[in-house]
Amino acid sequence: MMEPLLSILVGLFFAAAIYLMLSKFSIRIMLGIAILGNAVNLLLFTSGRLTREVPPIIPADLDALPSGTANPLPQALILTAIVISFSFLAFLLVLTYRAYQDLGTDDTSEMHAAEPDDRPLPPLGY
């Protein structure tokens, strides 16, 4: 019952993330990256079967998980991905803040301070 609802939520997260990442403002791009990470985490979590009745613990008399239990591997991957995505987002936040301090804008089309103003235009055709 929960898998279809989470699948729709994952699809909405992916759509919102792609929409935000196509923006030209760096804050929206960062929010899109954060939402994309959450969408991937929910996708992995949904792929590991959602069950509340049987935890992913192997009993003492068995050598493998009984059928119907949740897969513990996606849960471990998600915990690792949360830590990595949080540190990546903190790095992007600092990088964006420093770029805003130096350039005075978060518009990526105006962030060409390293390029000379009198540079020739690229070729428009051949």
In order of their start, the domains of the chain are 2-52+68-108 (1.10.287)
Q: Is the dihedral of CA 22, 31, 76, 7 positive or negative?
A: negative
pLDDT at 53: 63
Hey, is 25 helix, strand or coil?
Answer: strand
pTM of the model: 0.76
Give the integer Cα–Cα distance in Å for 62 and 60.
6
* pLDDT string in tens for the chain (126-residue length): 778 888 899 999 999 999 999 999 999 999 999 999 999 999 988 877 666 666 667 778 888 777 777 777 887 888 999 999 999 999 999 999 999 998 888 888 888 766 777 777 778 887
- Which residues share a beta bridge with 25? 107
